[in-house]
């Protein structure tokens, strides 16, 4: 399926090597690589192996976590993002997804300022490497310690504050933004401004039993995924639909069966996406 991408974290128990074998068998065309999957690996070799497996590297997850309480902390975050840019360049990832960060006890306004400053600090290196950056707004339940950017409107505001450089855009993840009454308008705006850099899908289970690791497979929850996908496509977006599922439930089972289910649920959602 031409637009199906799977994140390595989705099948966390599998090594990257196993992902490169199992993903293509299910018609997956793209792979988003999480940095922990790269530990100890030769990045140039990963780029080659991924290409040989017939997979396109869609993005690297993740950079960000810019806010900090000290100057040294801010610099550590910048250094880590510079390293992520080098890694993305080496594995051939055209994009880094930014989970922007937040600091309990620090105002969200201050954190957003630090996020904008952090992105500005690494932007020249990203531009030079030909790597784009995508701000991913996170659901407000993560506003304490994972991201002070919780809506697409706030992500747009940071892009605008940076002078709307072409390299900086937004990753739309249905899990984080499906509830937003402005969602369609903000997706439209992302299309108009050239900021729609990535689209992530999964589902919201009821009741959610874990704030981080209880995401559902598409169809297991209440998100209007198809409708949001149509809004995204209506902007002219032709990129990947990236399946990003953190789930203790799915991780505890057989990952090959899980990948079969991902492929089936994607095909049911997007019957018009042709097989490769």
User: Footprint of Zn ion on this chain (CB under 5 A)?
Assistant: 173, 200, 244
- Looking at beta carbons only, is 18 or 246 nearer to Zn ion? 246
- The HSE-up count of residue 193 (CA atoms within 13 Å, CB side) is 23
Terminal Cα-to-Cα distance of the chain (whole angstroms): 5
Report in angstroms how near the CB of residue 171 gets to Zn ion at its nearest: 6
Report in angstroms how near the CB of residue 179 gets to Zn ion at its nearest: 15
Report in angstroms how near the CB of residue 244 gets to Zn ion at its nearest: 5
- Compute φ and ψ for 101, nearest 5 degrees: 100, 160
Report in angstroms how near the CB of residue 139 gets to Zn ion at its nearest: 10
- Looking at beta carbons only, is 49 or 179 nearer to Zn ion? 179
Number of C-beta neighbours around residue 245 at 10 A: 27
Report in angstroms how near the CB of residue 193 gets to Zn ion at its nearest: 20
- Looking at beta carbons only, is 73 or 94 nearer to Zn ion? 94
Report in angstroms how near the CB of residue 140 gets to Zn ion at its nearest: 15
Query: What kind and span of H or E run contains 141?
Result: none
- Looking at beta carbons only, is 117 or 251 nearer to Zn ion? 251
In sequence order, the 6+-apart residues with CB closer than 8 A to the CB of 272 are none
- Looking at beta carbons only, is 180 or 276 nearer to Zn ion? 180
**Do residues 267 and 276 touch, judged by C-beta distance below 8 A?**
no
In sequence order, the 6+-apart residues with CB closer than 8 A to the CB of 105 are none
CB neighbour class for 266 (10 Å; exposed up to 12, middle 13-18, buried from 19)? buried
Which stretches of 15-163 are DSSP H helices? 16-25, 43-52, 71-91, 108-129, 152-161
- Looking at beta carbons only, is 69 or 222 nearer to Zn ion? 222
């Amino acid at each position: 399926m031409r637009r199906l991408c799977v994140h390595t974290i989705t099948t966390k128990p599998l090594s990257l090597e196993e992902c490169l074998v199992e993903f293509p068998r299910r018609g997956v065309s793209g792979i988003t690589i999480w940095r922990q999957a790269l530990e100890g690996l030769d990045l140039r070799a990963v780029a080659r192996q991924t290409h040989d497996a017939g997979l396109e590297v869609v993005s690297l997850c993740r950079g960000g976590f810019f806010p900090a309480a000290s100057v040294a902390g801010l610099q550590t975050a910048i250094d880590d993002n510079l390293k992520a840019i080098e890694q993305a360049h080496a594995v051939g990832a055209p994009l880094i997804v930014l989970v922007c960060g937040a600091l309990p006890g620090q105002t969200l306004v201050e954190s957003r300022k630090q996020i904008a400053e952090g992105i500005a600090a690494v932007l020249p290196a990203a531009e030079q490497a030909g790597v784009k950056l995508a701000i991913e707004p996170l659901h407000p339940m993560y506003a304490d310690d994972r991201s002070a950017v919780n809506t697409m409107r706030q992500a747009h505001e940071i892009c605008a504050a940076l002078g709307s450089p072409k390299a900086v855009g937004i990753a739309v993840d249905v899990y984080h933004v499906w509830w937003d009454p402005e969602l369609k308008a903000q997706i439209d705006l992302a299309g108009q401004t050239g900021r729609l850099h990535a689209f992530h899908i999964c589902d919201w289970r009821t009741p959610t039993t874990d704030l981080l690791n209880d995401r559902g497979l598409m169809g297991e929850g209440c998100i209007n995924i198809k409708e949001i996908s149509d809004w995204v496509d209506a902007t002219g977006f032709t990129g990947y639909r990236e399946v990003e599922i953190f789930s203790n439930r799915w991780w505890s089972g057989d990952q090959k069966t899980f990948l079969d289910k991902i492929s089936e649920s994607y095909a049911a959602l997007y019957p018009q996406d042709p097989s490769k």
